[in-house]
Structure formats: C-alpha cells, structure tokens
Amino acid sequence: MNTDDNTRTPRRNKAFWQAHTHQWKQSGLSKIAYSKEHDLKPIGFYNWSKKLENLDSEAPSTAIAPATFCL
C-alpha cells in the first residue's frame, strides 16, 4: 500500500461533521442534495448525521435527578 497516494479523502473528525450537520439543517436541502453540493459522500454524511442525532438525544439533561438511597 502506498501511503504517499493523494487520492484518499482526508480524515474527517466529529467537529467537521457537526459543522456540516448544522449547516445542512439551516440549508433546507435533503441530505443527498447537501452532500452533492458540498462534495461529501452521501452515506458518510447520513451515518454521521444519525450518529450525532443519537448523541444529542443521549445527552444528559441539565436537571438534577433526585438521589436514591438503598437501605
């Protein structure tokens, strides 16, 4: 495998996909249309948007839950 090959897509991190997901939501475009417009692989964009959506729904709420004690 040649590691000097420049044909590979650069590695994209969570912040990259968060920014694109935010921009996509503001755009009013479908995920496919947004992906094409920004030269993103549609499956990668779809997978990351779902992953970030799941992380957002799992985020702890700001309310403090009451403590429970077992006797």
Q: Is 17:49 a contact under the CB 8 Å cutoff?
A: yes
Query: What token pair was written down for 1?
Result: 């495998």
Tell me what pLDDT residue 71 has. 64
Query: What token pair was written down for 23?
Result: 């921009």
Tell me the residue range of the domain where 35 lies: 14-55
Residue 21 lies in a domain: yes
**Mean of pLDDT values over 25-41:** 95
Task: Indicate the DSSP class of residue 66.
Answer: P
Q: How far is CA 1 from the centre of its chain?
A: 29
**Mean of pLDDT values over 6-26:** 85
Residue 22 lies in a domain: yes
pTM (predicted TM-score): 0.65
Q: Alpha-carbon distance 31 to 8, whole Å?
A: 23
Residue 5 lies in a domain: no
Task: Indicate the DSSP class of residue 65.
Answer: P
